Structure 1
Amino acid sequence: MKILLEEIMELAILSGEVLLKNGAETYRVEETMAHVAKACGAAKVESFVIPTGVFLTVNDDSGRSITTMRRVKNRTINLDRIAKVNELSRRLVDRRIDRKDAYGILKHIARERTGFSLAPSMIAAGFVGGGTAVLQNAGVYETLGAFAAAASVRYLAHIVSRLHGVQFTFEFLGGMVAALVGVILHDMLPAIGRDAVIIGGIMPLVPGVAITNAIRDVIAGDLLSGLSRGLEAALTSVAVAMGVVIVLATHSW
């Protein structure tokens, strides 16, 4: 029974770790770990999740328990992985898959490379920026400028991730890049509205998911996680704003 309990713990906490690393809500991480552990035979499960760590205690029928935690340093938004882990937990609960197979699949989900390559990502970011400019009643040139600014920000994200840079460094530099594109285009063609280009360029940096999760956690009573996510979103907004303000202030001189 000792080995079984340890295997249950490893599977459950790995599922929580993958979810938290990829942007899942606090309640989803806690519930998924509990469902996975109980589906594997745990008698009692207690979990506690904060944005930087996962804590889990699993008990068996004899009363023996194991407690462990996982530190989560790097977080991103990957809804594909979240969906795959959720589906895996449902299959486990419905007895459509056994524990060992589930662990192998979960390890694969944690390691696999998902998402799009650089070029499609830049194009998608460009459409986000261009679409935002259109919503501001921007003209053709402003829309194209916002497309270029947002695509440039996405390229910068790729460079910073390759260098293992800090998240807030990228957001600060991203704000600067978006502002630089807007300022340069406006200086070259004064008819191009600088503000529309900058706003469209920084749109991929807006922490919409973080804000949504923060509000969701606070409403659900997960105050520590909600406040932490809210503070992270606020710092992201400040970093982007500082990058834009520095460029605009320097240009005005």
Structure 2
Amino acid sequence: MKKMLDQTNEIVEICLLAGKIMLQNGAETYRVEDTMMRIAASFGIQASHSYVTPTGIIFSIDGTGPTKLIRIVERSTDLQKVTIVNSISRKISSGELSLEEAHRQLKELDTKNLAYPLWLQVAAAAIASGCFVIMFQGGWGDFLPAFISGGLGFYCLVYVHRLVKIKFFAEFLASFIIGIMSILFVMIGFGHELDKIVIGSVMPLVPGLLITNAVRDLMAGHLVAGLSKGAEAFLTAFAIGSGIAIIFAIY
């Protein structure tokens, strides 16, 4: 009986760990719940229940098994980790992974840092900013100003967020820096269309994944998660807009 209970506890731990990794790295709420229940069913637990919100996961099984809760404090975007968890889940379902091996792989994945180096993230944000200027029918003369402003703003976002864990302030300061740089470039004649430079530069800060996941969760019937993610996306958009609005008001 004790051995069976220990095995059940380990299955619950695996399900919670898989759900935690997915939720921390940008997966939709309904996908997290589905993956956890599929893993439990693959290990012989057919009657499992999960309740997932952006800040926590509750998972339980019928019978003598415990109900466990995990708090989610930090959330970022790393879709590679979500893909790897999905791959592990499929291997579990097909019987390719044992309980111990699945637990080991998930633990390793949880501690890995698969994100691209900071310089590459900043370079990608800078290039994207310049390309957005062209996409919004700006001139090639504004490509470099947006390239510099967007890269500097994204670096500011990452750096400030490491110092202050409140994301709102990091996003606000990043957009404020972008506004200052854009205006300076136009004043010295290096840039021409201020609106195009600003719009292109703030695009890497826009919470596109959050908005998409909020809509998908709402459509899947997860109203609490969908509304909370929508509120988080609204706060991000408000922070970006406030930073730009203040510098424009000063200008």
Task: Tell me whether 1:127 sits opposite 2:130 in the alignment.
Answer: no
Distance 1:161 1:104, change over 3 A: farther
Contact 1:181 / 1:198 at 8 angstroms: preserved in 2? no
Q: How many residues align?
A: 248
**Percent identity among equivalent residues?**
33
Contact 1:145 / 1:197 at 8 angstroms: preserved in 2? yes
Task: Tell me whether 1:87 sits opposite 2:87 in the alignment.
Answer: yes
Contact 1:19 / 1:82 at 8 angstroms: preserved in 2? yes
TM-score by length of structure 1 reads 0.95
TM-fit CA distance, 1:200: 1.0
Cα distance in 2 for residues equivalent to 1:94 and 1:16: 19
1:97 partner amino acid: L
1:35 pairs with one of 35, 38, 48: 38
TM-fit CA distance, 1:93: 0.7
Contact 2:179 / 2:198 at 8 angstroms: preserved in 1? yes
1:5 pairs with one of 5, 8, 16: 8
1:57 pairs with one of 50, 56, 60: 60
| Correspondences of 1:102-141 after superposition (within 5 Å) | 102-141=102-141
Cα distance in 2 for residues equivalent to 1:147 and 1:39: 49
Q: Specify the alignment match of 1:145 in structure 2.
A: 145
Distance 1:226 1:127, change over 3 A: same
Secondary structure (helix, strand or coil) at the match of 1:65 reads coil
TM-score by length of structure 2 reads 0.95
2:222 partner amino acid: D
TM-fit CA distance, 1:161: 3.6
1:3 partner amino acid: D
Q: Specify the alignment match of 1:69 in structure 2.
A: 69
Contact 1:36 / 1:92 at 8 angstroms: preserved in 2? yes
1:88 partner amino acid: I
Distance 1:183 1:88, change over 3 A: same
Cα distance in 2 for residues equivalent to 1:190 and 1:246: 22
Cα distance in 1 for residues equivalent to 2:121 and 2:232: 24
TM-fit CA distance, 1:191: 5.4
1:2 partner amino acid: L
4+ residue runs over 6 A deviation = none
Contact 2:185 / 2:191 at 8 angstroms: preserved in 1? no
Cα distance in 2 for residues equivalent to 1:119 and 1:46: 42
- Partner deviation per Cα, 1:151-170 (whole Å, 9 max, x = no partner): 11221133124325311111
Contact 1:57 / 1:66 at 8 angstroms: preserved in 2? yes
Task: Identify unmatched segments of 5+ residues in structure 1.
Answer: none
Distance 1:168 1:129, change over 3 A: same
Aligned-residue RMSD, C-alpha? 1.2
Cα distance in 1 for residues equivalent to 2:170 and 2:38: 37
Task: Identify unmatched segments of 5+ residues in structure 2.
Answer: none
Cα distance in 2 for residues equivalent to 1:43 and 1:139: 59
Contact 1:26 / 1:225 at 8 angstroms: preserved in 2? yes
2:51 partner amino acid: F
Contact 1:149 / 1:200 at 8 angstroms: preserved in 2? no
TM-fit CA distance, 1:246: 0.8
Secondary structure (helix, strand or coil) at the match of 1:66 reads coil
Cα distance in 2 for residues equivalent to 1:149 and 1:58: 51
Farther off after superposition, 154-163 or 226-235 = 154-163
1:155 partner amino acid: Y
Cα distance in 1 for residues equivalent to 2:210 and 2:8: 34
Secondary structure (helix, strand or coil) at the match of 1:24 reads coil
TM-fit CA distance, 1:132: 0.7
Q: Specify the alignment match of 2:213 in structure 1.
A: 213
